[in-house]
Amino acid sequence: RWVPPRTSARSASRFLRVVNESPAPKATVEQADYLAIFVADNGQPDADDRVSALARAFIERYPSASKLDEVRLKLGQVYFRNGDFASAQTQLETLARETPASPLVETALFIAGQASMKRIDSGGIDRAIELFSQVASLNGPLKFHARLELALLQNRQDKEADAVKLYDDILRENPGPEVKAAALAGKGDNLFALGEKEKPQYAAALEVYQALAREPGLNATLQHRALYNKGRCLE
């Protein structure tokens, strides 16, 4: 979850109190309205309603604000965790479109892709593929995670062979341990699914699960899953 640059709640609250109690320049009022959004995000039961109301008001009041991207991202996150995926996607895609140079674009597009995956309309999956493809093309920290999501989407469309190709592309780039383990597990699962039509694919899946089980530092859950799936292949 993205958070803005660290500002203590106490100092932010003190700043807000001073601004509210005395006349202040427009820039100071804008800063106060910005801080109020993040101070309101305090984990209380009604926090999300308060945060979303403040964020919407900020966007309407300061359409050219330098921190508009941060506010849109926060609003998108609030919509997402409350299950309003269409609104989350709207805010996050607007961020990417209106502030393409923002360092938050990659994160916004990734969450927008996740929101699109959860939509129940027919176009959600296709749009999610477009969004994750954009994230992958940015070649940033979320590149591999976006490609893992693309492989999952291929699986959901019963395109297991295409998913395997995506996992192979990831593995060829020698990603970090977490991504490598996820790619091996996903590749094995898709090969196993292909085995229902082509029996030799079970042997290929077995090799992948064996490789996964041998990965150094693999957590117990994934190791047990790999061993269990080896048994399924042998069966």
Lowest mean pLDDT among 5-19, 47-61, 187-201, 218-232: 5-19
Q: Is 122 exposed, middle or buried (0-12, 13-18, 19+ CB in 10 A)?
A: exposed
Q: What distance lies between CA 86 and its chain's CA centroid?
A: 15
pLDDT at 153 over 60: yes
The pLDDT-based confidence of 230 (bands split at 50, 70, 90) is very high
**67-110, pLDDT tens digit by residue?**
999 999 999 999 999 999 999 999 999 999 999 999 999 999 99
CB 171 within 8 A of CB 146: no
Cβ neighbours of 210 (radius 10 Å): 16
Report the pLDDT value the prediction gives residue 13, as an integer from 0 to 100.
57
If you average pLDDT over every residue of the chain, what do you get? 91
Report the pLDDT value the prediction gives residue 44, as an integer from 0 to 100.
87
Task: Provide the H-helix boundaries in 5-141.
Answer: 9-21, 26-40, 47-61, 68-81, 85-98, 105-118, 124-138
Residue 154: which of 134, 126, 179, 196 has the closest Cα? 126
Enter the pTM of the model. 0.85
CB 214 within 8 A of CB 184: no
Between CA 82 and CA 96 the distance in angstroms is 21
Report the pLDDT value the prediction gives residue 25, as an integer from 0 to 100.
66
**1-46, pLDDT tens digit by residue?**
555 555 555 555 555 555 555 555 678 889 999 999 999 988 888 8
**76-87, pLDDT tens digit by residue?**
999 999 999 999
Report the pLDDT value the prediction gives residue 119, as an integer from 0 to 100.
85
